[in-house]
Structure 1
Amino acid sequence: MLRTEMGTNITAIVNRLASELQNTSFYADFLADVQTTMATQNLSTEKFASECYEWTQGSWLDTRLRNALYRLMHVQPTLLSNPDTPVHVLKEPLAYVRKAQSSWERRLVKCVNSMASELGVPLARRRTKQEREDLAERWANLSTDESDLSMIRPVYAPKDFLEVLCNLRNQNYDETVEENLWGSIQLPLRVKDIKALVELYGELACCCKHTGLDETVPGEHKPNLTLAEERIIIGQKVVERNHGPLSKEFCKTGCPPGLRAVLWHQVLGLEITEKHYKYFDELMKAVLQHDLLVDKLIMKDIQLTASNDDQYFVFEDILFQVLLCFFRDTEVLSHFGHSSASPPLSVARGQTPSPETMVAYPPSGVIPFHGFTMYAAPLSCLYEDPVHLYFTFRELYCRYWYRLHIVTSHPQGAAGLALQFELLLQSSETRLWQHCAAMGIQLLPIVFKWMVRGFSGYLIPDQLFHLWDVILAWESVEVLPVLALAIVSFRRDNLMDVTSQQAAESVLADITSIRVIPLLKLALASDKGRDRET
């Protein structure tokens, strides 16, 4: 019976994947390539199906199809779930978490509406012909815009969101029966302990050589070359294969800087074609056509973050282009199919609210928080072409970053990561945890702002890219609390001397000198499960 049910489930999953693949833009192009290629082959009509299958095995067509399926399973994880599971359960299984997310969404919508009323501006308006022409003329120099943004304030900051998570409670949770929750996050969520994390990040936990640590040591296979030189040679062969899973495995021991951009595209299943350029051009036209209130929000965010960052201020113009287009991209709405969140809705002025007249606002369904720009800013160091930057940013957001600012019970959500940090701190740095508790010092608010931005803006770009290599290679952001713990451990001696929250914040204020891979290896060392001696 078990085998029959497993076979049925696998068949159902395969059928859903095949059906969903046919609805993608990839399918039509792939089918045309197959027809063109097969027309050039001398295949018999009697055994056409079997000969066609045999010929395609290992071919470029086979690789393209495998990459497409690999990407589809990651961008739509619900396709792999039980088809009988209700949609709301797939999005978020816990009712009290769904309720909290809905409440959070209403709060954000109210804040945006209040800002629009205070400023006396509509949520959206059609630009005049002159405005469209002026904007098109300075599209490449949007940072020179002289609009007054002094009255624009961020809708919320990471600390506001953390406050919501800290106040969240499960009314059915019985502390007299269950284990007491001692930390700021009072949610009985299942998160990985250090043992499970060591098992997950095996290559990092062991003594494998890594390009983020051992660039100058002799290569593993060619001792006459440095590891960095050897990895470039191997990486070029991996790039030539253009196989997503293979590129992902290669990234586990680090990406050579010169190959990182293309390797990330392969891991993410991105093939930038002429269609992508046309799509980005349509988004640009949408920016020219309509002025949105969120435009001012993101422009102000760029000014407050990237423009004030020594690493990214030179990329202001491309960030303006990418982010203004992002908030008009309705394809971003697809991630709400497997998210506990729902897009905020609005209705055009003069229309009666109804299911037919309600539309997502902004069109992407995302309201930016203070620091949102930093999801895109680092990519400007990798991709000069705004189209390549845009689709890489969109893919990363829809796979990983969206969970960092919604209320969800998913272990890779903001609440799960915050809880994981607190539990790791207690188990791995017991003396430091006890000291902080005695002094009334809370480390979570300090590290939460790092985690919710994926450490962007806090680490220098080359170290940040090593961290994001890990996220892509293991398809998980659970490394964020591990790095947060590693940094706290690294500054343990200083933290043991402080007696106030302000002093602790000063100790952890600047982490730009941090080297990511050595600290991650240290945090995942075999003795991390025990309290270390100072």
Structure 2
Amino acid sequence: MLMEEGSELSLTIAQIVQRLKGSHLHSQIERQAKLIKCLFFLYSFQNLIFLKTSGWERQLQNAVYRELHVQLPPSHPTAPPEHLKEPLAYMRKAQASWEKRVLKSLNSMSTELGVPLARMRPPVEQKELTNKWNEMGTDEPDLTRFRPVYAPKDFLEVLISLQNPNHDSSEDVSVRSHWGLIQVPLNVRDIPQLVWTHVDVWFIAIGHLCVSIYLFENEYVQMGKKVVLEQDSAAAQQYSRQGCSTGLRADLWALILNSTNQPQDVMHYEQLTAGVIQHDLLVDNLIYKDVKLTASNDDYYFVFEDFLYQVLLCFSRDTAVLEHFKYNSATPPKSFIQGRGGDEECAVVYPPNVAPLCFLYNEPSKLYSVFREMYIRYFFRLHSISSSPSGIVSLCLQFERLLQSHLPQLFYHLRQIGAQPLRIAFKWMVRAFSGYLSTDQLLLLWDRILGYDSLEVVAVLAAAVFAFRAENLMEVTSLASAEAVLADLSTLKVMPLIQIFLFATAI
């Protein structure tokens, strides 16, 4: 057993070293080492003194910490590549089938409308887009011909249909396992396990009761400033578990994600911007339509419309995002610029939403850098089929089991009237509650996602919302009336709901 653990550790170290050797940080350290004419092999023990005295130690620690969060999980050396992406064959098959469906929809739209998936913009069009780059929200293109590729309910139906061919559900011990819509046998944590993991949430509640709120918050802000000053990613993540101070959140999140805004990052963003100006993609129209239908009509996000276009259009051209598909069950949908088909560097991928981050970052390159890291670390799991504990399948199952176990009467009542709870909560979870909570509460929720390095809190909050409205929900007689009870979440306070649900239920 110890030998196996040692082997896994050695493999992990080797993978991290290999990845860092190709990074900009490695080049910077190596360049400085050569300047001071020292014999330098970055990962040998003898150079610890150099790293400490030169100031690179903390940056290297943060880079390693990031790699530990995004690298491939340990696996058998002879495991095929697809097993690294997703170990369960039926999940891989379902994801592949879903991708074919989405791609078929895109290709059909391209054929029907006579719009290519990707084309070079004429010089006149490039100049026009350059001039209005910071005012794209004022543009009103005719998007009536373009239809959404899929709706959340379509994705939910795919998840509901998932079945493990090697599992006989009749062998389940609990009858309640059949109440929900998700019928796959995955291990998800129940409240006692969640309480143990999220004990910090309990301590923060006690802290508010035991000391002056002003004193507590003042000391907490000072602690946050110290964390930012120390530039320690691990400390920032630990701090985020109890919620970030409003004025420090942007710096803390960037630190947790090891998202810098160095000249090379700004240059990369400018290159992506140039790519948007040079090439027109079919998916650009879908991005325009999505932003127009959502953020443009949102009381919180409409002011960021220009930022949203810029970041999402750039994201769709960023080939660096392809790296995360090594540990994502999905395969990126791609189109190729005409005349450059088959060139991986010219492939484009299709993105999600970014609006809440606009409240934290007013510099486009910084906003983009943080958004990309948030997506490839967390939010991609909400849009792909996998067995990951933070994947949307596990979150749906966890939500249903939490309700079934701790609010069985409510769950059974809603099920009997045709208002399965997941059909209501799914749209919240697939967007990590973006667009449903007030902005300050949404950011507090995302603090915990970063702090605990997990999306489980999304499922917990969804269950907590049902618990909070349980009395009213027990009176409803239809799906429509249940949806009406849960239509407005903008007045809810995230942390009190989670604390009450986790700890009151556990007692």
Taking structure 2 as the reference length, the TM-score comes to: 0.93
The CA deviation at 1:268 is 0.4
Amino acid at match of 1:501: L
Contact kept, 8 Å, 2:84 with 2:327, in 1: the verdict is yes
2:184 to 187, 201, 206: 187
1:468 is matched with: 446
Residues of 2 paired with 1:205 and 1:362: CA distance? 49
The CA deviation at 1:166 is 0.6
Please say if 1:276 is aligned against 2:279.
no
Please say if 1:202 is aligned against 2:199.
yes
1:160 is matched with: 154
CA RMSD across the alignment: 2.4
Residues of 2 paired with 1:44 and 1:151: CA distance? 63
Equivalences for 1:129-528 in 2 at 5 Å? 129-179=123-173, 181-182=177-178, 183-206=180-203, 208=205, 214=208, 218=212, 225-346=214-335, 357-358=341-342, 363-366=347-350, 368=351, 372-373=352-353, 376-525=354-503, 527-528=504-505
Residues of 2 paired with 1:403 and 1:106: CA distance? 18
Residues of 1 paired with 2:323 and 2:442: CA distance? 27
Contact kept, 8 Å, 2:315 with 2:372, in 1: the verdict is yes
The CA deviation at 1:322 is 0.6
2:77 to 83, 97, 102: 83
**CA deviation digits over 1:146-184, x for unaligned, max 9?**
321112121112111001111121222212334464110
Helix, strand or coil at the partner of 2:56: helix
Helix, strand or coil at the partner of 2:247: helix
Contact kept, 8 Å, 1:343 with 1:361, in 2: the verdict is no
**CA deviation digits over 1:49-103, x for unaligned, max 9?**
877524644873211111011111222233x444333221111111111111111
Amino acid at match of 2:150: Y
Question: Which stretch of structure 1 is more off in the superposition, 127-136 or 438-447?
Answer: 438-447
Please say if 1:13 is aligned against 2:7.
no
Residues of 2 paired with 1:328 and 1:67: CA distance? 27
Contact kept, 8 Å, 2:279 with 2:337, in 1: the verdict is no
Contact kept, 8 Å, 1:215 with 1:227, in 2: the verdict is no
Contact kept, 8 Å, 2:336 with 2:348, in 1: the verdict is no
Amino acid at match of 2:69: H
2:62 is matched with: 67
Contact kept, 8 Å, 1:455 with 1:464, in 2: the verdict is yes
Residues of 1 paired with 2:54 and 2:200: CA distance? 30
**CA deviation digits over 1:172-213, x for unaligned, max 9?**
221233446411011111111111111221211445557xxx
Question: Which ranges of structure 2 fall in alignment gaps of 5 or more residues?
Answer: none
Question: Which stretch of structure 1 is more off in the superposition, 196-205 or 50-59?
Answer: 50-59
Residues of 2 paired with 1:216 and 1:322: CA distance? 44
Taking structure 1 as the reference length, the TM-score comes to: 0.89
Percent sequence identity is: 44
The CA deviation at 1:497 is 0.7
Contact kept, 8 Å, 2:335 with 2:347, in 1: the verdict is no
**CA deviation digits over 1:328-366, x for unaligned, max 9?**
000111111001111124466589xxxxx4357993433
The verdict on how the C-alpha distance between 1:34 and 1:81 changes in structure 2, with shifts beyond 3 A counting, is farther
The verdict on how the C-alpha distance between 1:59 and 1:361 changes in structure 2, with shifts beyond 3 A counting, is closer
The CA deviation at 1:403 is 0.8
Question: Which stretch of structure 1 is more off in the superposition, 5-14 or 497-506?
Answer: 5-14
Number of paired residues? Answer: 501
Amino acid at match of 2:188: V
Residues of 2 paired with 1:207 and 1:121: CA distance? 54
Residues of 1 paired with 2:11 and 2:388: CA distance? 25
The verdict on how the C-alpha distance between 1:68 and 1:334 changes in structure 2, with shifts beyond 3 A counting, is same
Residues of 2 paired with 1:217 and 1:116: CA distance? 62
The verdict on how the C-alpha distance between 1:254 and 1:18 changes in structure 2, with shifts beyond 3 A counting, is same
Residues of 1 paired with 2:348 and 2:206: CA distance? 41
Please say if 1:96 is aligned against 2:90.
yes
Residues of 2 paired with 1:196 and 1:50: CA distance? 39
Residues of 1 paired with 2:6 and 2:310: CA distance? 48
The CA deviation at 1:10 is 2.2
Contact kept, 8 Å, 1:331 with 1:364, in 2: the verdict is no
The CA deviation at 1:44 is 12
Residues of 2 paired with 1:131 and 1:435: CA distance? 57
Residues of 1 paired with 2:390 and 2:234: CA distance? 21
Residues of 2 paired with 1:348 and 1:286: CA distance? 11
Helix, strand or coil at the partner of 1:424: helix
The CA deviation at 1:307 is 0.3
Residues of 1 paired with 2:86 and 2:296: CA distance? 37
Helix, strand or coil at the partner of 1:291: strand
Question: Which ranges of structure 1 fall in alignment gaps of 5 or more residues?
Answer: 220-224, 352-356
Contact kept, 8 Å, 1:346 with 1:360, in 2: the verdict is no
The verdict on how the C-alpha distance between 1:168 and 1:58 changes in structure 2, with shifts beyond 3 A counting, is farther
Contact kept, 8 Å, 1:403 with 1:414, in 2: the verdict is yes
Structure whose residues are more often helix by fraction: 2
The CA deviation at 1:390 is 0.5
